[in-house]
């Protein structure tokens, strides 16, 4: 709101300038390599890019790229790594997708209700004996392509209408299995949403990925990750960047404004 020239020249103007979008931001400080034999551990505030659709834009000046594990090639990952970027392999581990090359490997009895996205259905995560080898193959793919970490999506089926009587204990057991599969391959792993189980899972995961915690007033629940020195990669889709960015900066989040289709476009909270 405009309240006169004097106020526009004061501190609030500086704050807004720091948090507005930059069409071509300066390169983010690169995330340091881990010591030999240790996995990457992203720290709070590291810059990132999240692109799951469209032709991958490898020119974005971000320290971390979170990209689709199936659709991103080994060569693209090598290009990013050559430039010092860290890479996160996006996979859906809690829901089945009919458009993935391994879709036929999932028994039909394991598929539950739709999760709100075309071609996707919740998985019966209680069936860990069958799911573990399927997810292990996907994690092997991420490792072989050269990814540093994994973002496993749809990790809160128990809190949704999945079509199965999933419990919080079922979810904890499955999420810890997913974390172990990543760690066994030397990759970091992020907790996607699943806010209710953050206190139990913060020790098992290396970072968090959140959508819309500002919109739903839930961001304070990520304090355990920040306190543990672990990054919170955060996006908002609605609202003006300048309105929520100061709070995100104060929380030490790695925050972006994105479109719902998660193409290359982004606005950076700085």
The reply to whether 6 falls in a domain is: no
* H helix runs in 185-252, sequence order: 198-201, 223-227, 241-250
**Could you report the per-residue pLDDT of 42-77, keeping only the tens digit for each?**
999 999 999 999 999 999 999 999 999 999 999 999
Q: What local confidence, expressed as pLDDT, does residue 15 receive?
A: 36
- The answer to whether residue 23 scores a pLDDT higher than 80 is no
Q: What is the phi-psi region of residue 212: left when phi exceeds 0, alpha when psi lies from -120 to 50, beta otherwise?
A: left
* pLDDT tier for residue 36 given thresholds of 50, 70 and 90: confident
The domain tally of the chain equals 1
Residue 49 lies in a domain: yes
Give me the percent of the chain exceeding a pLDDT of 70: 90
For the chain, strand residue ranges (E) read 48-51, 64-68, 86-92, 95-97, 111-114, 120-123, 149-153, 188-192, 207-211, 232-236, 254-257, 267-268
Mean pLDDT, the chain, integer:
91
Provide the residue range defining the domain that includes 181.
Answer: 27-268
Alpha helices, DSSP H, located in the chain: 5-8, 11-19, 74-82, 128-145, 168-184, 198-201, 223-227, 241-250
Asked whether the predicted pLDDT for residue 25 surpasses 50, the reply is no
CATH code, domain with 226: 3.20.20.70
* 12 domain-assigned: no
Tens digits of residue pLDDT in 134-177: 999 999 999 999 999 999 999 999 999 999 999 999 999 999 99
| 264 in a structural domain | yes
Global pTM exceeds 0.95? no
């Amino acid at each position: 709101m405009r309240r006169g020239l004097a106020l526009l020249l004061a501190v609030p103007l500086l704050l807004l300038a720091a948090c507005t979008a930059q069409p071509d931001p300066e390169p983010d400080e690169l995330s340091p390599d881990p010591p030999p034999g240790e996995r990457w551990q992203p720290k709070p505030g590291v810059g990132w890019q999240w692109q799951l659709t469209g032709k991958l834009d490898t020119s974005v000046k971000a320290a971390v790229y979170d990209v689709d594990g199936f659709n991103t090639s080994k060569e693209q990952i090598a290009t990013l790594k050559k430039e010092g970027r860290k890479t996160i392999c996006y996979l859906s581990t809690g829901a089945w997708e009919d458009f993935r090359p391994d879709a036929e490997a999932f028994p039909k009895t394991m598929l539950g209700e739709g999760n709100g996205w075309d071609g996707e259905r919740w998985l019966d995560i209680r069936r860990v004996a069958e799911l573990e080898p399927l997810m292990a193959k996907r994690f092997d793919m991420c490792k072989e392509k050269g990814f540093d970490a994994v973002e496993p999506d749809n990790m809160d089926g128990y809190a949704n209408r999945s079509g199965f009587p999933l419990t919080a204990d079922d979810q904890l057991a499955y999420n810890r299995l997913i974390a172990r599969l990543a760690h066994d391959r030397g990759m970091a792993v992020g907790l996607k949403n699943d806010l209710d189980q953050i206190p139990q899972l913060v020790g098992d995961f290396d970072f968090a990925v959140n959508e819309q915690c500002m919109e739903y007033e839930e961001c304070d629940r990520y304090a355990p990750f920040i306190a543990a020195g672990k990054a919170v990669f955060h996006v908002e889709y609605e609202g003006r960047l300048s309105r929520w960015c100061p709070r995100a900066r104060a929380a030490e989040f790695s925050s972006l404004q994105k479109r719902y289709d998660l193409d290359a476009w982004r606005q950076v909270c700085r």
